[in-house]
Amino acid sequence: MTPQETHVAFQDQIPGNHCWGCGPLNEHGLQIKSYWDGAQSVCRWQPWDWFAAGPEHILNGGIIATIIDCHCVCTAIANHYREEGREMTSEPGIWCVTGGLDVGYLAPTPLDQPLELRAQIEERKGKKTVLTCSLVSDGEERARGRLVAIRVPPEWRKRDEAGM
């Protein structure tokens, strides 16, 4: 295990992470947690009852897309640090954004069961990382995602320097 591959979630090592899906600094968010498991990253998460789709026992598809997105982007960020042999808390900070997301819904995802996300890197070239992700609940693959993550400069995260 390299120094940055600790038992601390990727999301908890990214300074200033206020993301609704994965940010530990967003008390109203989903706060998913991702970790390395060899060449893959894994996230285990229990949906909450109020994330129902139309049927009260099925997880909403937008929540599924969000957790796949966040898990994959954080995996891409962690991988950049891994490639550079740096701690995820080191400066300059690394940040990636979603360049594309495709989610296939294979079967309804039950709300009363924990789910597991597993992502792996399919391609890494320049600023671009392509990842695939599988969402499994109750022993069945329920959704599959493909995400393109783009590394952006650290100043992108600063409001006035990003033109916002």
Cα–Cα dist 61/81, whole Å: 31
Residue 1's pLDDT band, with cuts at 50, 70 and 90, is very low
The closest alpha carbon to 15, from 158, 163, 162, belongs to 158
Asked if residue 71 is part of any domain, the answer here is yes
* C-alpha torsion sign, points 156, 28, 81, 124: negative
Question: What residues contact 76, with CB distance under 8 A and at least 6 apart?
Answer: 96, 121, 129, 131, 147, 149, 151
Q: Which helix (H) or strand (E) holds 117?
A: strand 115-125
28 vs 32: CA distance, rounded Å: 12
Q: Is residue 152 part of a domain?
A: yes
Q: What pTM was computed for the model?
A: 0.92
pLDDT digits (tens, 9 = 90+) for 78-122: 999 999 999 999 999 999 999 999 999 999 999 999 999 999 999
Q: Evaluate whether 131 touches 76 at the Cβ level (below 8 Å).
A: yes
Q: Does a structural domain hold residue 162?
A: no
CATH number at residue 48: 3.10.129.10
Considering its fold, how many domains does the chain have in total?
1
Q: Residue 1 domain-assigned?
A: no
Whole-number pLDDT of residue 6: 59
Residue 4 pLDDT class (50, 70, 90 cuts):
very low
Name residue, tokens 């590394």: 151
Q: What is the mean pLDDT of residues 118-133?
A: 98
Residue 146 domain flag: yes
Q: Is residue 122 part of a domain?
A: yes
Domain assignment present for 4 = no
Domain that includes residue 57, residue range: 10-157
Query: What CA–CA distance (Å, rounded) separates 149 from 157?
Result: 15
